[in-house]
Amino acid sequence: MSESTSATRGSAGGQSGKRGLWSSRLAFILAATGSAVGLGNIWKFPYITGENGGGAFVLVYLLCIAAVGLPIMMAEVMIGRRGGNSPVKSIRNITQAEGLNPGWRLVAAIGVLAAFLILSFYSVIGGWAISYVGTAASGALTNQDADAIGAIFSGLLASPGTLLLWHSVFMALVMFVVARGVRSGLEKAVSILMPALFVLLLVVVGYAMTTGHFGEAVSFLFQPDFSKLTTKGVLVALGHAFFTLSLGMAVMVAYGSYLPKGISIAKTSILVSIMDTVVALLAGLAIFPIVFANGLEPGAGPGLIFQTLPLAFGQMPMGSLFGTLFFVLLIFAAWTSGISLLEPLVEWLEEQKGMTRRTSTLAAGLSCWLLGIASILSLNLWADVTPLGMFSMFEGKTIFDLLDFLTANILLPLGGLLIAVFTGWFMSRQALENELALSSGSFSLWYNTLRYFTPIAVAIVFVYNLI
Ligand code: PFF
């Protein structure tokens, strides 16, 4: 972990010393992991696995991480380090240096837009986690049955005022850190919070093992039953691979721009992907035994962890304490991801509109907060409003569902596809070789995966689902 940390110039535009760099390889890994590990791992992965029938879906998801996500993560970090600026400018620097069409910077613009849309509903769910800290701490979960716990959750969703309060608090937390610049506070926070989250997850997995339904959960997660896999499931797995690794959104480009030269992009990306995957699988192993032990429905949807984990905590010795801690850590996981979602837009406003960091944080954060209100209302007062319901693909989708679907299943794969094409087919091979500094065998594997497999796989899944 002690590789070079001196500020050196990138080759296409350059990392200016003024922006500063991560203090170490570990700092980058923690920040990138902080962005990757979030609600996507602990909240979303278990419920989409439940909705899509388990094992076969998990297998496709793992394949998507390894064969699509990882190569794109390496490409994004590499573009960031080479361009050395905000995502839009980094891509422009590279196109200038290599004589390519400057229009490629639109790829980063799609990413910035996707990140903005995601944060609007991500913050609402971050708000659920904040609300559950109070619920757990008050002892309200102790010795309740599944129905009572379910009623607490539906009660929360039915009250726009409470949701708005916690959504506002979450967004304020994100804006507070972003306004101050992410690195000094963030680096320190993630280095304590990420390991703590990991340990607590292990504690819940330990409890889940005592429910007597651990084996059932293991087979549900790891025994593929392909009859349960639908084409929609494949799209969801692909979209989630992008979501969970924070790809297609220029976030890894932004973080890569602070990565000192001499640090291996491949090794760090592999490590971040592994940690992200381990956390998701642990979340599955923590949650499904409790689901099965209590006769709950694995396909219960977005409320899954808010209905299962509280049951477990309610029955554990010192459950209020563990429950409170768990939701606090869930907030931190979401917080570090939320910060990385706001960062690209703020950077862009600073650069393009010449705003100060504070003003741009305020402008971006408040707009995002405002859009979040639509998601809140779609959980209660607007539950029947389905704006694009006339298209079969969007049938029955509320604003909240639509934002989730449009970003994870359309914008992110599209952004990732374009990144793969830009890197694999347009950037010079020499530049890539220099930046990645891999052995020729590893380089070829990455390069050919990125040129052929990744774009074709994403395009097929994508087009198939649009049709
Ligand atoms: N990767 C985060 C998660 O799994 O919760 C969500 C996320 C963060 C997505 C940052 C995209 C992003 F740019």
The CATH number of residue 49's host domain is: 1.10.4160
Q: At what angle do helices 319-353 and 357-378 cross, to 10 degrees?
A: 130
430: in domain: yes
Report pLDDT for 92: 92
* Rounded CA Rg of the chain: 21
Q: Is residue 60 a contact partner of residue 48, using CB atoms and an 8 Å limit?
A: no
The reply to whether ligand 1 has any atom less than 6 angstroms from the CB of 131 is no
How far from chain centre, in Å, is Cα 131?
Answer: 21
Average pLDDT for 34-47: 94
121: in domain: yes
From 32, 19, 81, select the one nearest 275 (Cα to Cα). 32
From 436, 53, 439, 114, select the one nearest 247 (Cα to Cα). 114
* Residue 396 pLDDT class (50, 70, 90 cuts): confident
Range among 36-40, 254-258, 325-329 rated most confident: 36-40
The reply to whether ligand 1 has any atom less than 6 angstroms from the CB of 316 is no
281: in domain: yes
Report pLDDT for 19: 56
53-62, 93-102, 431-440, 453-462: which range is least confident on average? 453-462
Q: Is residue 294 a contact partner of residue 71, using CB atoms and an 8 Å limit?
A: no
The ligand 1 atom at the shortest distance from the C-alpha of residue 337 is 8
The ligand 1 atom at the shortest distance from the C-alpha of residue 36 is 1
- Ligand 1: residue of 244, 337, 342 to mutate (most ligand atoms within 8 A of CB) is 337
Report pLDDT for 123: 98
Average pLDDT for 371-387: 93
The reply to whether ligand 1 has any atom less than 6 angstroms from the CB of 251 is yes
229: in domain: yes
Mean pLDDT, all residues of the chain: 89
In degrees, rounded to 5, the angle at the alpha carbon of residue 307 between the alpha carbons of residues 306 and 311 is 115
Burial class of 161 by CB neighbour count within 10 A (0 to 12, 13 to 18, 19+): exposed
- Ligand 1: residue of 243, 252, 282 to mutate (most ligand atoms within 8 A of CB) is 243
Q: Sign of the C-alpha dihedral, residues 192, 195, 197, 199?
A: negative
Q: How far is residue 112's CA from residue 294's CA, in Å, rounded to a whole number?
A: 41
CA of 334 to the centre of ligand 1 (A): 8
The reply to whether ligand 1 has any atom less than 6 angstroms from the CB of 337 is yes
* Residue 185 pLDDT class (50, 70, 90 cuts): low
SS (H, E, C) 247-302: CCCCHHHHHHCCCCCCCCHHHHHHHHHHHHHHHHHHHHHHHHHHHHHCCCCCCCCC
- The residue assigned the tokens 């297609």 is 248
Which protein residue has the closest C-alpha to ligand 1 atom 12?
246
What is the largest distance, in Å, between two alpha-carbon atoms of the chain? 66
260: in domain: yes
CA of 439 to the centre of ligand 1 (A): 31
* Residue 107 pLDDT class (50, 70, 90 cuts): very high
Average pLDDT for 425-431: 95
pLDDT exceeds cutoff 50 at 332: yes
The reply to whether ligand 1 has any atom less than 6 angstroms from the CB of 39 is yes
Report pLDDT for 224: 95
pLDDT exceeds cutoff 60 at 4: no
Percent over 70 (pLDDT), the chain: 94
Q: Is residue 450 a contact partner of residue 423, using CB atoms and an 8 Å limit?
A: yes
Q: What is the DSSP letter of 385?
A: -
The reply to whether ligand 1 has any atom less than 6 angstroms from the CB of 338 is no
pLDDT exceeds cutoff 80 at 9: no
The reply to whether ligand 1 has any atom less than 6 angstroms from the CB of 246 is yes
Query: Per-residue pLDDT tens for 54-106?
Result: 999 999 999 999 999 999 999 999 999 999 888 888 999 999 999 999 999 89
The reply to whether ligand 1 has any atom less than 6 angstroms from the CB of 174 is no
- Ligand 1: residue of 61, 118, 246, 332 to mutate (most ligand atoms within 8 A of CB) is 246
178-187, 202-211, 218-227, 294-303: which range is least confident on average? 178-187
Provide the token pair at 337. Answer: 């991801």
The reply to whether ligand 1 has any atom less than 6 angstroms from the CB of 249 is yes
Helix and strand numbers, DSSP H then E, in the chain = 22, 0
The reply to whether ligand 1 has any atom less than 6 angstroms from the CB of 73 is no
Q: How many domains does the chain have?
A: 1
Report pLDDT for 6: 34
Report pLDDT for 166: 98
- Which residue range forms the structural domain that includes residue 441? 25-466
List, in order, residues 6 or more apart from 53 with CB less than 8 Å away: 225, 228, 229, 233
Report pLDDT for 338: 95
The ligand 1 atom at the shortest distance from the C-alpha of residue 333 is 5
Q: How many residues are present in the chain? A: 467
16: in domain: no
15: in domain: no
Beta strands in 59-217 (DSSP E): none
Q: Is residue 421 a contact partner of residue 75, using CB atoms and an 8 Å limit?
A: no
pLDDT exceeds cutoff 50 at 271: yes
Q: Is residue 302 a contact partner of residue 43, using CB atoms and an 8 Å limit?
A: yes
Q: Is residue 48 a contact partner of residue 241, using CB atoms and an 8 Å limit?
A: no
C-alpha dist (Å) from residue 442 to 336, 392, 426, 449, 450: 31, 43, 20, 11, 12
Report pLDDT for 301: 86
Q: Is residue 340 a contact partner of residue 35, using CB atoms and an 8 Å limit?
A: yes
